[in-house]
Structure 1
Amino acid sequence: MRFALSAAALLAVATAAPAVATANPQLALIPDARSAMQRVEPRLMQAEGMPYQHTVQIVLPASYAAQPDKAYPVLWVMDNAIMTSMVTGIVDILVSGNHMPEVIIIGVGSAEEEGIAGVQRRYMDFSPPVGGTFLPDGLNGKVWASIAPLPEMPQLADKYLDFLVDQARPALCAELRCADRHLFQGHSAGGMFGAYAMLARPGSFDDYILGSPFIAANGGAVLEMEEEFAATGQPLPANIYMGVGSEEADEWFLAVAGIVSGTAEFGNRLAIRDYEGLTLRTKFYEGEDHYTAAPRVVMDGLKHLFADEAAAIGSSWPTKPE
């Protein structure tokens, strides 16, 4: 038995009789659309006030060339080297099944061929400029410092956020057909940076997918920011999907990093505050660790955030005749 039908076969099935008229497979019904997204040659961009360049990987929707007048939401992916390929594969699958509309993906970070240098830069990119250290507070920080002390490094999250919103976004969207909806995806330290971005510049992104966020980083700077933000009484316009693996509580180093406890505390605070304009969905993934939780959070987050659009698109398969 063949695993999948071709686009032509799907089109033939979907248009064979009135009984299947409600089916609407997105790509099969778009003449000349590709079957999957298209990676563009990566480019380097220099952020103002930062001492190194970032690799930017653009991935275009499968129908981008076939629909020259259409604009697409933009999904910004942190940790380009290890996350962009995974996120692209998940988007391709979800679009094929009409679980979400097509999007432009922009991955930002180090290049895929880089090693430890890219990892070290991400610590600087994601580190809020407070506290003087990337480490957690209290017992967690003491244990971490005793086994894996970190060198002193610039804390550049404010400059990195400005680069994404004020520099990269207008430059790239001047050449790409970006719709007025920008989604953020980050995992671990990248997830913490998403929480920082939401509080430091409310409205900088419309939607957030935060996987296993390292909320305890920088002495719990994000929690302190949330406390200060709550005191202002401002609305917090954002749709958040946040997830973490249950096994992260038992893995020793992730326990040192406080991944599960930090995620729970941040989610609990947001739920209690009931900020105007904020929607929140938090999920704990039974049996998943820091790595296996990542694709599940991305997939479920995209399905959650695009649930209304998916319902409007409809099923990708013929429906049963009435």
Structure 2
Amino acid sequence: MVANRILVFFFIFIYYSTCFAQKATLLSIGKSEILHSKVLSEDRTINIYLPDNYNPNDSVRYPIVYVLDGGIDEDFFHISGIVRFVTQPWIDRFPQSIVVGIGGNKRRRDFTFPVENTDFIEREGFQKASFSSYGGSEKYIAFLKNELIPYLTRNYRTNGKQTLIGESLAGLFSTEILLKHPELFDDYIIISPSLWWGEEVLLKNSKKLLQHNLKKNVRVYLGVPNKEEDISMYNEALALSDVLRSEEKIDFVFDYMPDELHSTVIHQAVYNAFKKLYPKTYYSK
């Protein structure tokens, strides 16, 4: 008798478990695509978040937010979450946007420019061997300009407005694009950039590069963490801010975050960047 009751209970449990399981749905924040790059001679994973109302068949077009450290184990998820938050209709701080995260970067190769001598690497506290491959930023810029951006323009409803987000070495790379190819993006969110690369040569040439290359108005946010962690990086960012602030075509924001470290700063910085570059919300418009 007891055995029969246990058996009945078991079948009831299985029935209800199956019913509840059938009602479960998977949550999805985006999709991943593989893009082969002829410039880089390799495949790249492109992670894509689309706005809730995105419809490939309608006439609405969207800006794109590019996340350089955009792998699923990097910054794609949490930055997509920030974008989704600030674009909600009850906030409406930033336009509904596509977020594109680029995965599979070889950061020390892709985000650094060539240098004649690498002795400075050890003075910065790194081993030369850890930079066995470097100096590929020119190719990576070509990948963005000639392959990724055209690919997205062909396959998604984009409106040509573009934001670039980069932190640390990706911040160095974002700074290089701003100085050498500022026309590629409209908004630059640069966080704790590694301007020490090449003995600060990019920083030293920043004003001259901007004077030669900057032809349109851009927005630039420069965020840095607690200066006590690395006073040299802070001073380099401060020097860059002086140059950017002096340019009439740059709508510039400098943001010092003493409560953040180099390892934690990106999330708070991206949120602050949207807030400071786009201060008006639904309620303040």
Normalising by the residue count of structure 1, what TM-score does the alignment of the two structures yield?
0.71
Q: Does 1:84 align with 2:76?
A: yes
Which amino acid in 2 is paired with 1:305? L
SS at match of 2:125: helix
CA RMSD for the aligned pairs? 2.6
Q: Counterpart in 2 of 1:221? A: 201
Tell me the percent identity: 22
Are residues 1:105 and 2:99 paired?
Answer: yes
SS of the equivalent of 1:192 reads helix
What's the counterpart of residue 124 of structure 1? 109
The answer as to whether partners of 2:183 and 2:214 remain within 8 angstroms in 1 is: no
Which residue does 2:275 correspond to in 1?
303
Counterpart in 2 of 1:144?
125
1:303 CA displacement? 2.4
- For residue 155 of structure 2, give the secondary structure of its aligned residue in structure 1: coil
Cα distance in 2 for residues equivalent to 1:211 and 1:37: 28
Stretches of structure 2 that go unaligned for 5 or more consecutive residues are 1-26
Structure number with bigger Rg: 2
Query: Which of residues 257, 260, 270 is equivalent to 1:285?
Result: 257
Find the counterpart in structure 1 of residue 243 from structure 2.
Answer: 269
Structure 1 residues 101, 279: closer, same or farther in 2, change over 3 A?
Answer: same
Opposite residue 183 of structure 1, the aligned amino acid is: T
Contact 1:79 1:109 in 2 (8 A): yes
TM-superposed CA distance for 1:286, in Å, is 2.0
How far apart are the structure 1 equivalents of 2:183 and 2:213? 15
User: Hey, what does 1:47 align to over in structure 2?
Assistant: 37
The amino acid of 1:50's aligned partner reads L
Q: TM-score scaled by structure 2?
A: 0.80
In structure 2, the residue matched to 1:20 is none
Alpha-carbon deviation of 1:239? 0.7
| CA deviation profile, 1:131-175 (whole Å, cap 9, x unmatched) | 454x7x4xx752524x57434314111111111122111112111
Structure with higher RCO (Cα < 8 A, 6+ apart) = 1
Amino acid at match of 1:39: G
CA-to-partner distance for each residue in 1:187-219, whole Å, 9 max, x for gaps? 111111111001111211011011111111222
- Structure 1 residues 193-232: aligned runs within 5 Å: 193-230=173-210, 232=212
**Unaligned ranges ≥5, structure 1:** 1-35, 111-117, 317-322
The question of 1:237 aligning with 2:209 is answered no
- The partner residue of 1:57 within 19, 44, 47 is 47
Q: Equivalents in 1 of 2:191, 2:124: separation in Å?
A: 24
Higher mean C-alpha displacement, 95-104 vs 65-74: 65-74
Cα distance, 1:279–1:131 mapped onto 2, change above 3 Å: farther
